[in-house]
Amino acid sequence: MNSKGGDYTASSVIGYGVRLFGVTTYIPKKALCLSGCSMIFVAGWDKAKGHPSRVKHRLSRLGVHRPGVPRQYADRFMKNHMSPYLDSMQAGEKFIQMTDKTQYRGMYFIKNSELRAMGNYQITNY
């Protein structure tokens, strides 16, 4: 995966497809996976083993932020759409918190150590 992001709704639909078909998600060396891309990344799934399958190269970057909806709707959108989606993908409570705390115009780059601590994420040199 290598994308600066895009529409949340489209990303979540793709994410549900990734989960349904049991696709491992991978962010290669020096790639960026930002915003909507992160919503697809968390959907990675090993269907045979029945657990998340997300791989990030240690030199890639994964960035998250709140939804790009008008400010007066952002809290409600996060609560009713993004958080339930991320929860269903087993992204982890910390991942949800990082997403929720970062304003739309900003970007929180999740550190490899933070991903490792969340579990269900693999950091690789390959």
The whole-number pLDDT of residue 103 equals 87
Average pLDDT, the chain: 94
Per-residue pLDDT reduced to its tens digit, 31-86: 999 999 999 999 999 999 999 999 999 999 999 998 888 878 888 888 999 999 99
Q: pLDDT band at 92, cuts 50/70/90?
A: very high
Q: Which CATH class is domain 8-124?
A: alpha beta
Q: Which residues pair with 64 in a beta bridge?
A: 108
Q: What 3 state SS string does 103-114 have?
A: CCCCCEECCHHH
80 token code pair: 């009713």
Domain residue limits, the chain = 8-124
% residues pLDDT > 90 (the chain): 79
